[in-house]
């Protein structure tokens, strides 16, 4: 799944969002000195090969009434992690589901899922459902409710092109 | 008082949103048209004009309901990123948050209820740059960073069903 040099430029140009004009891909293409057809072809390929999970409207949960977000963390036995990870991803209230490294002594949890809901009660109900339907009553878990959102934006991919990474690494040496 | 004002404002914002807005928000989170006139295609599917689609999306962006029309990159496919957390004393929260938020390599930062109370995502160009960023943060804050790297991404991300009718 090697990315082309141009892919980084296209994704970088899209960071602020697709322009809201009649021919937005042409605007991006013109900015980058590329053909519109090429930009469209690359976005198609990046979706096909899984580099992009999706392309479309990115909503802000909080502003749409899903004001509560609970990061639920679980200490799943390693032999069940794939089963549970895949199972959790099927629930429509789960918006992220990752396996992460444990970090002893403070952090025994290896599975993370984000639950967005209208309030705390709903998050707790969803967690109960996950426990019940996946036989997790004995699994250590915690829910970290967010109390303030300091910053939320898309990732920036400036300096991520292979050429930039190489030059940054040289500069750091 | 401030709380009730907030509720009023939220309600009026919701009132201004009609069925077409709801479709715009819910139905185009993936598979956004990849063609010369994508908003025209959206317009045709909703039975409105291209200009109206553009106007409505601009308004939804201004009101904060839409972050952007864009790509969700599969974690790990570009650069290096990690979830990270800090245990920040109550009286230092504003100061540490200001520092973390100002970093260009941070794209999310939330306060959460836990001993580890500040949770952020770091995105850098490479593993080496990520290690440097963690070190910088530790030096600047005098706190140890809990680094929780992603090992596996289970979620397909088909968008978020807003369930308008439930």
Categorise residue A56: left if φ over 0, alpha if ψ from -120 to 50, beta otherwise: left
Task: For residue A45, give the CATH number of its domain.
Answer: 1.10.10.2890
- Cα separation, B86 vs A156, in Å, equals 22
pLDDT exceeds 60 at position B130: yes
**Residues of chain B contacting A12 with CB distance shorter than 8 Å:** none
Residues 50-109 of B with CB under 8 A from A: 50, 54, 57-58, 61, 63-75, 77-79, 81, 83, 97, 100-101, 104-109
Strands B66-73 and A141-152 turn out to be unpaired
Taking the Cβ of residue B31 and every Cβ of chain A, the question of whether any pair is shorter than 8 Å is answered with yes
Domain count, chain A: 2
- 3-class state of residue A79 by DSSP: helix
Asked whether the beta carbons of residue A95 and residue B160 sit closer than 8 angstroms, the reply is yes
The CATH number of the structural domain formed by B80-148 is 3.30.70.3460
Rounded-to-integer distance, Cα B120 and Cα B102, Å: 12
Interface confidence: ipTM more than 0.85:
no
A53/A79 same-domain check: no
SS3 label, residue A2: coil
Nearest CB partner across the interface for B150, out of A15, A98, A150:
A98
| Mutation site, A6, A52, A57, A119, interface B, largest B CB count within 10 A | A57
Task: State the pLDDT confidence band at A173, using cuts at 50, 70 and 90.
Answer: very low
Contacts B126 to A, Cβ<8 Å: 165, 168-169
A120 shares a domain with A68: yes
Say if residue A84's pLDDT is above 50. yes
The domain of A19 spans 1-58
Which region holds residue B76: left if phi is over 0, alpha if psi is between -120 and 50, else beta? left
Q: Is B20 in the A-facing interface, judged by CB distances under 8 Å?
A: no
Residue B5 has pLDDT above 50, yes or no: no
Residues of B with Cβ-Cβ distance to A119 under 8 angstroms: none
Half-sphere exposure of B92 (CA within 13 A, CB side): 13
Q: Which has the higher per-residue pLDDT, A62 or A37?
A: A37
Using one digit for the tens of pLDDT, what is the confidence trace for B77-120?
888 889 999 999 999 999 999 999 999 999 889 999 999 999 99
With beta carbons under 8 A apart, name residues in chain A contacting B52.
Answer: none
Preceding peptide of A105 cis, ω within 30°:
yes
Domain boundary among A58, A74, A93: A58
């Amino acid at each position: 799944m090697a990315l082309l040099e141009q892919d980084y430029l296209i994704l970088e140009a899209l960071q602020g969002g697709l322009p809201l004009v009649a021919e937005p891909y042409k605007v991006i293409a013109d900015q980058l000195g590329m053909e519109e057809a090429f930009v469209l072809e690359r976005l198609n390929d990046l979706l096909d090969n899984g580099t992009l999970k999706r392309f479309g409207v990115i909503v802000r949960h909080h502003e749409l009434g899903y004001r509560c977000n609970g990061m639920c963390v679980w200490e799943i036995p390693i032999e069940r992690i794939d089963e549970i990870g895949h199972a959790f991803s099927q629930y429509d209230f789960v918006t992220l589901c990752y396996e992460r490294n444990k970090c002893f002594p403070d952090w025994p949890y290896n599975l993370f899922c984000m639950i967005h809901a209208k309030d705390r009660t709903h998050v707790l109900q969803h967690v109960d459902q996950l426990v019940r339907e996946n036989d997790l009553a004995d699994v250590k878990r915690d829910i970290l409710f967010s109390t303030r959102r300091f910053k939320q934006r898309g990732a920036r991919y400036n300096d991520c092109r292979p050429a930039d990474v190489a030059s940054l690494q040289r500069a750091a040496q | 008082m401030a709380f009730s004002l907030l509720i009023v404002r939220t309600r009026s914002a919701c009132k201004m949103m009609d069925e077409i807005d709801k479709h715009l928000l819910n139905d185009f989170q993936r598979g956004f048209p990849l063609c010369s006139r994508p908003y025209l295609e959206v317009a045709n599917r909703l039975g409105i004009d291209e200009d109206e689609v553009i106007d409505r999306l601009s308004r939804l962006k201004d009101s904060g309901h839409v972050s952007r029309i864009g790509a969700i990159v599969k974690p790990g496919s570009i650069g290096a990123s990690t979830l990270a957390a800090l245990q920040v004393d109550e009286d230092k929260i504003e100061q540490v948050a200001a520092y973390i938020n100002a970093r260009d390599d941070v794209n999310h930062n939330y306060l959460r209820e836990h001993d580890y109370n500040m949770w952020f995502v770091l995105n850098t160009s490479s593993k080496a740059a990520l290690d440097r960023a963690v070190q910088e943060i530790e030096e600047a804050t005098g706190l140890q960073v809990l680094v929780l790297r992603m090992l596996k991404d289970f979620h397909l991300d088909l968008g978020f069903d807003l369930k308008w009718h439930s």
